[in-house]
Amino acid sequence: MNPVYVALDTTDLDCARGLAERLRGSVGGLKLGLEFFSAHGPEGVRAFSQMDIPIFLDLKFHDIPNTVAGACRAAASLGVSIINVHACGGPAMLKAAGEAARGVNPAVKVIAVTVLTSLNQADLQAAGVSGTPGDQVLRLAQLTKANGLDGVVCSAHEIAPLRAALGKDFMLVVPGIRPAGADLNDQSRVMTPPEAHKAGVDILVIGRPITAAPDPVQAARDIAQSLGF
């Protein structure tokens, strides 16, 4: 299956739907995030769930276990394939998230954000976290697995150590992917699609290299072809 999920980061519903219609044959899934959800809510998500393409609803829940459980129950009932929470919400929250989501949709994958790729070591230290981002990502990924969730969002540079430590059945979802020569935008630690694929990633989240390309369908096809799809 094509591992590329295109990030539809916009508040414009018609634009998002139009892109999704055009791209659905050239990508493996769609990612809808906070920007889209804050503008269009559950109705906006339902507008895509009839398109017969997997949807990753990237809302990164982080709250007390009872509240996150309720949010996961609601999100998992929207016909999406993947939802997520922040791993630093702690063991009880992770466990509650997985149980609640699977209670309404046994097939939904619940994954956790480890360390945001926008944070560096100084940012972690300022928040009281010692050690490197890599150490913290591994610690949070192990916590995620121990509490029954399906995988994590991580940076491309953490794929190899996480795969080695957590095994092949743990889902690794990676943003910050840039085809060779593409604009980096605000991403700093990037990898090309074939490099990330080879390192063992399950899902590559790619936004602007597809959505901002002069021909988004061609850009998506070129990426799929570079991965052998």
User: What are the residues binding ligand C5P (CB under 6 A)?
Assistant: 7, 9, 33, 116-117, 153, 175-176, 185, 187, 205-208
Determine the number of helices (DSSP H) and then strands (DSSP E) in the chain.
Answer: 10, 8
**Which is closer to ligand C5P, CB of 4 or CB of 97?**
4
**Which is closer to ligand C5P, CB of 3 or CB of 207?**
207
Please answer whether residues 178 and 209 qualify as being in contact, where contact means their C-beta atoms are separated by less than 8 angstroms: yes
**Which is closer to ligand C5P, CB of 9 or CB of 99?**
9
Tell the smallest beta-carbon distance from residue 103 to ligand C5P (Å).
26
Tell the smallest beta-carbon distance from residue 77 to ligand C5P (Å).
23
**Which is closer to ligand C5P, CB of 102 or CB of 210?**
210
Which residues lie below 8 Å from residue 210, measured CB to CB, with a gap of 6+?
A: 4, 6, 23, 27, 216, 219, 220, 223
Among the listed residues 60, 95, 109, 145, the single catalytic one is 60
* Spatial separation of the C-alpha atoms in residues 147 and 130, rounded to whole Å: 23
Q: How many other CB atoms sit within 10 Å of the CB of residue 171?
A: 17
Let me know if 109 is a catalytic residue: no
Tell the smallest beta-carbon distance from residue 36 to ligand C5P (Å).
9
Tell the smallest beta-carbon distance from residue 7 to ligand C5P (Å).
4
Q: Counting Cβ atoms within 10 Å, is residue 122 exposed (0-12), middle (13-18) or buried (19+)?
A: exposed
Residues forming the active site: 60
